[in-house]
Amino acid sequence: MWGIYFNDRPAKIKFINGMNDMPFFQFLLYLFEVLFQVYFIASFLAIRKAKKVYLENYTNPNISALNALYKITILYYVLHFIVLTRWLVTYIFGFGEIRAWIVTIDGFAFLFCTCWYLFVALNNPDFFRGVNSDLKPIEEVVSEEKPSLEIDEEKNTQIETLKEFMIKNEPYLDSSLTIQNLAEQVEMPVKELSALINLYMNKHFFDFINEYRIEKAKEILKNPSKKELTILEILYEVGFNSKSSFSTSFKKYTGTTPTDFRKNPK
Say whether both 105 and 15 belong to one domain.
Answer: yes
More confidently predicted of 147 and 124: 124
Confidence at residue 3, expressed as pLDDT on a 0 to 100 scale: 62
Say whether both 115 and 35 belong to one domain.
Answer: yes
In a domain, 140, yes or no: no
Tens-place pLDDT, residues 65-96: 777 778 888 888 888 888 888 878 877 777 77
Lowest pLDDT segment from 10-14, 33-37, 215-219, 247-251: 10-14
The rounded distance, in Å, linking the Cα atoms of 219 and 239 is 14
In a domain, 91, yes or no: yes
Say whether both 97 and 155 belong to one domain.
Answer: no
Angle at 186 between CA 130 and CA 251, to 5 degrees: 60
Confidence at residue 237, expressed as pLDDT on a 0 to 100 scale: 92
Say whether both 250 and 208 belong to one domain.
Answer: yes
Say whether both 244 and 184 belong to one domain.
Answer: yes
The 3-state DSSP class for residue 57 equals helix
In a domain, 256, yes or no: yes
Say which CATH number the domain at 174 has: 1.10.10.60
The 3-state DSSP class for residue 192 equals helix
Say whether both 14 and 111 belong to one domain.
Answer: yes
Over range 58-66, report the average pLDDT.
69
Say how many domains are in the chain.
2
Q: What residue numbers bound the domain in which 155 lies?
A: 147-263
Percent share of the chain, pLDDT over 70: 85
In a domain, 139, yes or no: no
Q: Whole-prediction pTM value?
A: 0.62
In a domain, 241, yes or no: yes
Say whether both 123 and 192 belong to one domain.
Answer: no
